[in-house]
Amino acid sequence: MRKFFIALVGMLAWCAPAAAQERTITVASTTSTEQSGLFGHLLPQFTKASGIGVRVVAVGTGQALDIGRRGDADVVFVHDKPAEDKFMSEGQGVKRFDVMYNDFVIVGPKADPAHIAGDKDVAAALRKIAAAKAPFISRGDRSGTHQAELRLWKDAGIDLAAVKGDWYREIGQGMGPALNMAASTGGYVLSDRGTWLSFKNRGDLTILTEGDKRLFNQYGVMLVNPANHPNVKAQDGQAFIDWLISPAGQQAIAGYKVGSEQLFFPNATHE
Task: Parse the chain into domains and list their residue ranges.
Answer: 2-102+218-266, 103-215
- What CA–CA distance (Å, rounded) separates 175 from 143? 9
Please tell me the distance from the alpha carbon of residue 209 to that of residue 240, in angstroms, as a whole number: 35
Overall pTM > 0.75: yes
pLDDT for residue 259: 87
First CA to last CA across the chain, in angstroms?
A: 59
User: Which run of H or E residues covers position 37?
Assistant: none
Q: Which residue has the higher pLDDT, 265 or 35?
A: 265
Q: Which pLDDT belongs to residue 164?
A: 87
CATH topology of domain 2-102+218-266: D-Maltodextrin-Binding Protein; domain 2 (3.40.190)
Helix axes 81-89, 144-155, angle to 10 degrees: 110
Q: Which residues pair with 55 in a beta bridge?
A: 26
Question: What are the E-state strand segments in the chain?
Answer: 24-30, 53-59, 75-78, 93-109, 136-138, 168-170, 188-192, 205-209, 216-224, 257-258, 261-262, 265-266
Confidence of residue 90 (pLDDT cuts 50, 70, 90): very high
CA distance 88 to 85: 5
Q: Which of 175, 113, 186, 183 is nearest to 138 (CA)?
A: 175
| Tens digit of each residue's pLDDT (9 = 90 or more) over 74-85 | 999 999 999 999
CATH of domain 103-215: 3.40.190.10
Q: What SS3 state is found at 147?
A: helix
- 137-170 pLDDT, tens per residue? 999 998 999 999 999 999 999 999 999 899 999 9
